[in-house]
């Protein structure tokens, strides 16, 4: 029996030092994470009213629990007179999502109204999107049962190159006029969102451990579910524990948000199992998305 407290309409609010994230993630039911300060969201398994103003949605993969309300988001924006949002999806899924958007549009559009399609952008590992001059998102590959991407948001800061330190402003202004590149970019990983994934992603993409905030799935936590986790392309708690002992020091994140638990577990099973089994120095950085 599904515990009745899993309600995608009642998200968890994470008050992190640099951003507030409103999120929900239970396996097969729904996953979404909204970051109003950064005007973006990850996945759209459900669409809260709070999600409607967000102009960019990064989609990890096409499974329904992550995308079912993608075009509900678009419809609500249209209804409220907003411009179309941009939906970033794995390249292999663009055709499918365009077809879905067209079907919804044909079903919902009043007769004679002009066509207004959402913007759907295909992403590949390494694709970069600028949210504004100092914030960029970069995609990386993720292992699941269908084409999947993770995304890292970077604060991008310009700093003086070492050889120009201490030069007066006047001189730097002249150098700028002369077209001399005296600054270099620093990309500071701020937040990484991994959707559904096996543990392989952490072994293959260790850079995710440098983000200040990391969203990570642990769908299965009970002993007899290891095989199921493997078959369904998910992470088991045992996989995570093995990774932590195989690769100590890789996950240096200040905040680790564990999510996408199987909907069979109740809250106390999840809390008690994680508290008993995760090492203390890891646990003190963990937020549990239930
Ligand atoms: Zn899922
Ligand atoms: Zn999935």
Centroid of ligand 2 to alpha carbon of 38 (angstroms): 25
Supply the pLDDT for residue 4: 64
The structure tokens listed for 63 are 């499974």
Q: What is the mean pLDDT of residues 269-283?
A: 96
Residue pair 55/39 in contact by the 8 Å Cβ criterion: yes
Residue 13 has pLDDT above 80, yes or no: yes
Q: Nearest ligand, CA of residue 63? A: 2
Query: What is the rounded distance in angstroms from the CA atom of residue 8 to the CA atom of residue 140?
Result: 27
Q: Tokens standing for 36?
A: 């109003």
Question: Tokens at residue 174, please?
Answer: 């002249």
Residue 88 above 70 pLDDT? yes
Q: Where are the alpha helices (DSSP H) in 178-278?
A: 200-204, 226-231, 237-246, 267-277
How far does residue 275's CA lie from ligand 2's centre (Å)? 26
Tokens 């936590």, located at residue: 221
Could you tell me if 244 and 202 are in contact, meaning their C-beta atoms sit under 8 angstroms apart?
no
pTM above the 0.85 mark?
Answer: yes
CA 101 to ligand 1 center in whole angstroms? 21
**What does pLDDT average to over the chain?**
95
| CA 259 to ligand 1 center in whole angstroms | 10
- Percent of the chain whose pLDDT exceeds 90: 85
Q: What is 135-156 written as a DSSP string?
A: EEEEEEEE-SSS-EEEEEEEEE
Mean of pLDDT values over 141-168: 94
- The answer to whether the Cα torsion of 272, 277, 278, 284 is positive or negative is positive
Q: Please state, in angstroms and rounded to a whole number, the distance separating the CA atoms of residues 255 and 265.
A: 23
**Residue whose entry in the numeric block shows the structure tokens 């009043």:** 110
Distance CA 277, CA 241 (A): 8
Burial of 91 (0-12, 13-18, 19+ CB in 10 A): middle
φ, ψ of residue 74 to 5 degrees: the values are: -65, -45
- State how far the Cα of 121 lies from the Cα of 16, in Å rounded to an integer: 29
How many Å lie between the centroid of ligand 2 and the Cα of residue 147?
A: 10
Q: 111 CA distance to ligand 1 centroid (A)?
A: 36
Report the pLDDT value the prediction gives residue 2, as an integer from 0 to 100.
52
CA-nearest of 119, 124, 130 to 150 is 124
Q: Which ligand is nearest to the CA of 263?
A: 1
Mean pLDDT to the nearest integer, 30-51: 98
Nearest to 281 by CA among 253, 261, 259, 257: 253
What is the CA(158)–ligand 2 centre distance, in A?
37
For 218-223, what is the mean pLDDT?
96
Distance 61 CA to ligand 2 centre (A): 7
Q: How far is the CA of 24 from the centre of ligand 1 (A)?
A: 11
Q: Do 158 and 73 meet the contact criterion of CB atoms below 8 Å apart? A: no
Which numbered ligand comes closest to the C-alpha of 143? 2
Closest among 285, 280, 228, 259 to 31, alpha carbons compared: 259
Place of tokens 């959402």: 118
**Ligand 2 centroid from CA 111, angstroms:** 36
CA 235–ligand 1 middle distance (angstroms): 11
Other C-beta atoms lying within 10 Å of the C-beta of residue 22 = 17
Spatial contact of 274 and 265, defined as CB atoms under 8 Å apart: no
Q: How much distance in Å is there from the Cα of 65 to the middle of ligand 1?
A: 5
Whole-number pLDDT of residue 3: 56
> What is the pLDDT averaged over residues 43-52?
98
What is the pLDDT, as a whole number, of residue 108?
A: 85
pLDDT of residue 112: 82
pLDDT score, position 110: 81
What secondary structure letter does DSSP report for 109?
Answer: S
Distance 45 CA to ligand 1 centre (A): 9
* Number of C-beta neighbours around residue 221 at 10 A: 22
232 neighbors 195 (Cβ within 8 angstroms)? no
Structure confidence at residue 229 (pLDDT): 96
């Amino acid at each position: 029996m599904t515990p009745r407290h899993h309600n995608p309409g009642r998200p968890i609010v994470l008050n992190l030092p640099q951003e507030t994230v409103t999120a929900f993630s239970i396996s097969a039911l729904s996953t979404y994470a909204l970051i109003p300060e950064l005007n973006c969201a990850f996945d759209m398994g459900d669409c809260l009213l709070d999600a409607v103003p967000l102009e960019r949605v990064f989609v990890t993969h096409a499974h329904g629990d992550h995308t079912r309300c993608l075009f509900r988001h678009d419809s609500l924006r249209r209804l409220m007179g907003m411009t179309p949002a941009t939906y970033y999806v794995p390249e292999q899924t663009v055709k499918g999502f365009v077809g879905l958007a067209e079907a919804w549009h044909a079903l919902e559009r009043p007769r004679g109204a002009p066509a207004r399609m959402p913007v759907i952008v295909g992403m590949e590992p390494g694709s970069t999107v600028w949210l504004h001059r100092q914030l960029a998102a970069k995609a990386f590959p993720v292992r699941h049962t269908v084409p999947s991407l993770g995304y890292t948001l970077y604060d991008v800061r310009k700093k003086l190159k070492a050889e120009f330190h201490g030069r007066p402003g006047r001189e730097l202004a002249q150098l700028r006029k002369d077209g001399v590149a005296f600054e270099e970019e620093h990309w500071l990983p701020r937040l990484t969102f991994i959707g559904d994934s096996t543990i392989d992603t952490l072994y293959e993409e260790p850079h995710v451990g440098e983000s200040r905030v990391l969203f990570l799935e642990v769908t299965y936590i009970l002993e007899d579910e290891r095989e199921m986790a493997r078959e369904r392309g998910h992470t088991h708690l045992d996989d995570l524990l093995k990774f932590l002992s195989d690769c100590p020091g890789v996950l240096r994140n200040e905040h680790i948000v564990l999510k996408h638990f199987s909907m069979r577990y109740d809250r106390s099973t999840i809390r008690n199992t994680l508290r008993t089994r995760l090492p203390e120095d890891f646990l003190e950085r963990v937020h549990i998305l239930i």
